[in-house]
Amino acid sequence: MTVHTILQAVCLFIIYTVLTVVLPELVFHQKYKGRRTGERLMLDITVSNFYIMNLVFILQLLHISSIYTLLIFTVMPVFAVIIIQYRKAFKAWGIRQLALLGKISSKTMGIKTFFAIVFTRIKDILCNACKNIFRIIGRHKTEYVLFTLLSVWLLYIYGSNEIIQYGYTVSDLPVHNYWINEMSKNNIFAAGVYPFGFHCIIYYIHTVFHIDTYVILRLFSVVQTFYLHLVLFTFIRCICRSSFAAYGGLFLYLVPSLYHGNCTIRFISALPQEYGMLFILPCIYFLFAFFKDMKENAGKWIICTDLAAACACFSMTIAVHFYDTMIAGLFCAAIVIGFCMRFFRPRYFLRLMGAVLLAVVIGVLPMFTAALCGKPMQGSIGWGINILTGRSSSGTNQNQDSNENKANTSSSGSSQIALPDTTKEEVTPEPENLAQDIDTEPVLTPSVSTLEKTTHFLQHFYQTLSNDIQEDIFAQDGALFAAVILSLCALIVLAGIGMCIAKQPDYGFIQISTGIFLLFLLILFNAKNIGLPQLMDQNRSRIYLTYMLTVLYALVLDLPAGIVLYSCKKPRAANGISLILSGIICAAACMVFPIRSHILAPRVSVLETNGAITCLGQILSERRNTTFTVVSANDELQMLAGRGQHYETITFLRYLKYAAQGQRIIIPTKYVYFYIEKIPLDYTVSYADSGQSISRTGAAKTLPSSAGINPYKGENRWIVMSKMYYWAEQFRKLFPQDMTIYYEDDEFICYRLIQNESSPFSLSIDYNYNQ
């Protein structure tokens, strides 16, 4: 299974790369002339994601989405553009081939000579390609080595979880799985209007490449996280003056254990918020590029492309996750301040306002259309609107949780799926509590001057920020870390001002914008402590904060190189200084902080055993659709959608309670698989005896009566699995030829019942623990 998982992940990586890099590069190869590699990469990712998302949105809203329409609207434009762009080359090639064929037909050339020419040309093309690749690699040898090492490290820390724990590790995923499954029925926004950009991408890969949705959701995180860091790297590489600051920044983010583990744990799962982060930095970069190109009058096409790409990225943040839009919006606000000298000029202002308006319209349009068609708002949209209108300041999203229940269980329920570790128990700051918090501080009297008020506020801000940073981000010394971050922000803003004075305004404005943006992020992170509405849960904002701090580190590491370049204009020297400084800082960080290890989801948040996933893969490969049923806790419900039937364990056990009264349970498929965890998972709720094996003691306990997925959590799961195990064993004793063990490992066992569909078994038996 490990090898299979790795191969599947590699396959997904190749598919995503082809879709988002290779195809756009083929199509827009000529249009990208003059742009840096990093820019091209960001453009590729932007264009492809924007196209796929909106294509799926349009086809879904028209209810004509299928593999055929998706393929037609993917392949046809690609071919059309390629043919139009390369028509001259194609024509010339065709003429050459016709000439060769003419020679063959007139017998002035033999077949052998013809094939020799063809092979020679192919060989030349391959040799030239190899030479070019080696030349490029040779020219940036150090960079490629560093890049490869960082990539391997990245895959190690974020990819290990996928090959150690096969199942979902975040409770959101069954919900997303459900929504994507519904898209296969052309039922987008199944649970109401919601940002579906991420779902569109997964749905597209699932439909076009026939990969099961659950496999993509299990493994896409590796691809997503790799690209997320690639974009971070590319962004830094593009805005920095030196070559090595980006490596330094990324190294500090990836290698030493600077931050609390929960700041990055969500990267081991394929989640919309993290996927949406992919578009924040490209959006910002293209805005930077717009200001630069406008200033330099780089040409209408380039300026338009910059603006369009920024606009597309911003719209995609709306389409994927509103938190990403918030962060992108904060950065844009910082840019407004950083680039204020240019922003308010009409030629910039009007274009930018137009672009923002267009981005919002494009981003919101699919959701708005769906709403017009009568789709209700999904719960979290209402919550978001309440936040924005100030009617609620809660950081948690109860509505999404209720949807998780819908996706997780086939029966109705109102329980909540907690995000283990990745989300911490959030205490909603009630106005009274907030007032109390403030009241605990010295009471401000009217006689206190404004300066003192400000000082007091800053002290309060710093104090609470330090506390929260220590608690949530930087485990060792929050106050120091807060001071360092604030200092670096100040440093980079001052450096930016310096650069502006030194007539390096583009670089300076970027530094100022970044510094201010980081300050904004800190305020967002600390909002609840300073009386501002908490737009984002700290659990989420710290992910953005740590991610964006990498940009700050890189800009700081780039500062000496910028000064050197300004003073002596020697790029090599600047790169050397950057490399040395980055090396020293990174080495120091590695000495001071421990090295990060691969991230594993804690046991409490593991939602499925490896055996269950292995078993599911085997069943799906062996059985024809709809000929089998899986009786399991809940997660397989969505994983099997469209392939097999699912029956919930708790429903099954509840019917078994009435076996003595003649209650029958009939599952009318030829094959029925029973999933039982021998060591039940905690399923987000740990309890005193977590990790214990199923036992007769557990089976003898009363069946949990709670609704939704609560019977599968914590101790309840142990009771449910214990009862299920003893039922299965008893049934196997009664029907040994029909009920067999299909799969077994230390933690999990799967029984398979083969029955005649025309005369199915009544599964209701007395197994001594029916009550």
Residue 760 binds another protein (CB under 8 A)? yes
Transcribe 626-654 into DSSP letters. TSEEEEESSTHHHHTTTTSEEEEHHHHHH
Residue 765 binds another protein (CB under 8 A)? yes
Nearer of residues 106 and 758 to another protein, judged by Cβ:
758
In DSSP terms, 256 is beta-bridged to 595
φ/ψ of residue 73, rounded to 5: -80, -5
Subset of residues 518 to 547 that bind another protein, contact rule: CB under 8 A: none
404-438 CB burial, b ≥16 within 10 A, e <16: bbbbbbeeebebbbbbbbbbeebeebeeeebeebe
Could you tell me which residues come within 8 angstroms of residue 271 by beta carbon, excluding any fewer than 6 positions away? 170, 172, 173, 176, 198, 221
Residue 738 binds another protein (CB under 8 A)? yes
Nearer of residues 454 and 762 to another protein, judged by Cβ:
762
Subset of residues 662 to 701 that bind another protein, contact rule: CB under 8 A: 662, 664, 666, 668
Residue from 734, 746, 768, 771 touching another protein (CB under 8 A): that is 734
CA-closest candidate to residue 694, choices 716, 665, 664, 709: 716
Long-range contacts of 223-226 (CB under 8 A, 24+ apart): 223/9, 223/12, 223/13, 223/16, 224/270, 224/274, 224/275, 224/278, 225/154, 225/158, 225/267, 225/268, 225/274, 226/13, 226/151, 226/154, 226/155, 226/158
User: What's the Cα-to-Cα distance from 20 to each of 150, 280, 377, rounded to whole Å?
Assistant: 21, 16, 30
Write down the residue that tokens 């599911």 correspond to.
Answer: 616
Give the pair of three-digit tokens for residue 290: 């717009």
Nearer of residues 30 and 758 to another protein, judged by Cβ:
758
Residue 28 binds another protein (CB under 8 A)? no
Contact in structure between 527 and 395 (CB atoms under 8 Å): no
Residue 288 binds another protein (CB under 8 A)? no
Min separation Cβ 698 and another protein, Å: 22
Nearer of residues 450 and 759 to another protein, judged by Cβ:
759
- Of 102-110, 161-169, 386-394, 735-743, which segment contacts another protein by CB under 8 A? 735-743
Per-residue 3-state assignment (H helix, E strand, C coil) for 513-563: HHHHHHHHHHHHHCHHHHCCCCCCCHHHHHHHHHHHHHHHHHHHHHHHHHH
Nearer of residues 98 and 666 to another protein, judged by Cβ:
666
User: What's the Cα-to-Cα distance from 413 to each of 256, 408, 410, 720, rounded to whole Å?
Assistant: 43, 10, 9, 17
Q: Which run of H or E residues covers position 479?
A: helix 478-501
Min separation Cβ 699 and another protein, Å: 17
φ/ψ of residue 751, rounded to 5: -100, 145
Nearer of residues 138 and 662 to another protein, judged by Cβ:
662
Min separation Cβ 1 and another protein, Å: 19
- Of 355-363, 369-377, 592-600, 753-761, which segment contacts another protein by CB under 8 A? 753-761
Residue 703 binds another protein (CB under 8 A)? no
The shares of helix, strand and coil residues in the chain, as percent rounded to the nearest 5, are 70, 5, 30
Nearer of residues 30 and 759 to another protein, judged by Cβ:
759
671-677 and 748-754 as β-strands: parallel, antiparallel, unpaired? antiparallel
In DSSP terms, 343 is beta-bridged to none
Q: Dihedral (C-alpha) 48, 51, 54, 60: value to the nearest 10 degrees?
A: -90
x/- track of binding to another protein for residues 707-726 (CB under 8 A): --------------------
x/- track of binding to another protein for residues 562-581 (CB under 8 A): --------------------
Min separation Cβ 737 and another protein, Å: 3
Nearer of residues 374 and 662 to another protein, judged by Cβ:
662
x/- track of binding to another protein for residues 634-663 (CB under 8 A): -------------------------x--x-
Q: Is 6 exposed, middle or buried (0-12, 13-18, 19+ CB in 10 A)?
A: middle
Min separation Cβ 153 and another protein, Å: 43
Euclidean distance between CA atoms 241 and 231, whole angstroms:
17
Residue 762 binds another protein (CB under 8 A)? yes
Subset of residues 231 to 260 that bind another protein, contact rule: CB under 8 A: none
**Number of residues binding to another protein, judged by CB under 8 A:** 22
Min separation Cβ 766 and another protein, Å: 8
CA-closest candidate to residue 764, choices 731, 740, 735, 742: 731
Nearer of residues 610 and 770 to another protein, judged by Cβ:
770
Residue 735 binds another protein (CB under 8 A)? yes
Min separation Cβ 728 and another protein, Å: 14
Residue 733 binds another protein (CB under 8 A)? yes
In DSSP terms, 675 is beta-bridged to 750
Nearer of residues 738 and 747 to another protein, judged by Cβ:
738
Residue 770 binds another protein (CB under 8 A)? no
Min separation Cβ 703 and another protein, Å: 18
333-351 CB burial, b ≥16 within 10 A, e <16: ebbbbbbeebbeeeebeeb
Residue from 220, 226, 383, 761 touching another protein (CB under 8 A): that is 761
DSSP code at position 185: T
Min separation Cβ 673 and another protein, Å: 13
Could you tell me which residues come within 8 angstroms of residue 452 by beta carbon, excluding any fewer than 6 positions away? none
Nearer of residues 73 and 735 to another protein, judged by Cβ:
735
Residue 459 binds another protein (CB under 8 A)? no
Residue from 124, 622, 689, 766 touching another protein (CB under 8 A): that is 766
Residue 764 binds another protein (CB under 8 A)? yes
Min separation Cβ 661 and another protein, Å: 10
x/- track of binding to another protein for residues 147-186 (CB under 8 A): ----------------------------------------
Min separation Cβ 753 and another protein, Å: 10
Residue from 389, 440, 445, 759 touching another protein (CB under 8 A): that is 759
Residues that bind another protein (CB under 8 A): 659, 662, 664, 666, 668, 733-738, 740, 754, 756, 758-762, 764-766
